[in-house]
């Protein structure tokens, strides 16, 4: 009987759980976490901010030269802010709507070395921002809000020509699957 109960325990342990499957990263069946920014949150905030940014007068004509500034992650979650920026830069660059300056140290040094008379693109705009979070709960219900703030600064005048804020709020008692 002792062996039988051990076998039953083993069946219990092995039989439970959901096997891993591939999911469409653009679909509706993704994990929704209350305490972290999910991949679909970056996509949602990024696409809405992209729509807002391209409607600004700065993007009405031509392909302005854009440099990426600092995006501060002011949340408790550790993630790469490129997850947000790529949602804006990838469509813009591929559609030819911006000239994106490479931002690494080598590229910056090369631009400095070429001197002011050289025909190298100079940043006309710098995109910078911040990601914040706000948490609250009522009983067992938890709520997490992630605030995405972006600002486009015109280098020549040093003024913000576009700024936007998108808030993604999630509420529940535990993490779940699906929107």
The partner residues of 32 in beta bridges, in order of sequence, read: 176
**Residue 59, interface with another protein (CB under 8 A)?**
yes
Q: Which stretch binds another protein (CB under 8 A): 37-45, 106-114, 127-135, 148-156?
A: 37-45
Where do we find the tokens 């219990």? 12
Regarding 61 and contact with another protein (CB under 8 A), the answer is yes
Among positions 68-97, residues that touch another protein (CB under 8 A) are 91-92, 95-97
Site string for another protein, 93-132 (x = CB under 8 A): --xxx-----------------------------------
Please pick, from the candidates 9, 70, 110, 160, the single residue that binds another protein as defined by CB under 8 A: 9
CA–CA separation, 146 and 42 (whole Å): 10
Q: Are 179 and 41 in contact (CB under 8 A)?
A: no
173 scored as a contact of another protein (CB under 8 A): no
Q: Does 55 bind another protein (CB under 8 A)?
A: yes
Give the residues lining the site for another protein (CB under 8 A).
Answer: 1, 4-5, 8-9, 11-12, 15-18, 26-28, 40, 43-44, 47-48, 51, 54-55, 57, 59-61, 91-92, 95-97, 178-179
């Amino acid at each position: 009987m002792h062996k039988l109960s051990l076998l039953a325990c083993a069946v219990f342990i092995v039989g439970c759980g959901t096997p891993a499957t591939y999911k469409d990263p653009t679909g509706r069946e993704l994990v929704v976490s209350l305490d972290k920014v999910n991949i679909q949150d970056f996509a949602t905030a990024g696409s809405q901010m992209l729509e807002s940014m391209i409607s600004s007068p700065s993007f009405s004509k031509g392909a302005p030269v854009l440099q990426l500034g600092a995006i501060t992650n002011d949340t408790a979650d550790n993630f790469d802010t490129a997850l947000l920026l790529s949602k804006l830069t990838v469509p813009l660059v591929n559609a030819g709507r911006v000239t994106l300056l490479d931002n690494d140290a080598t590229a910056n040094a090369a631009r400095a070395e070429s001197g002011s008379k050289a025909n190298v693109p100079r940043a006309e705009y710098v995109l910078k921002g911040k990601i914040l979070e706000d948490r609250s709960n009522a009983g067992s219900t938890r709520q997490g809000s992630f605030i995405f703030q972006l600002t486009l600064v015109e280098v020549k005048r040093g003024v913000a020509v576009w700024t936007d804020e998108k808030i993604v709020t999630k509420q529940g008692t535990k993490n779940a699957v699906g929107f």
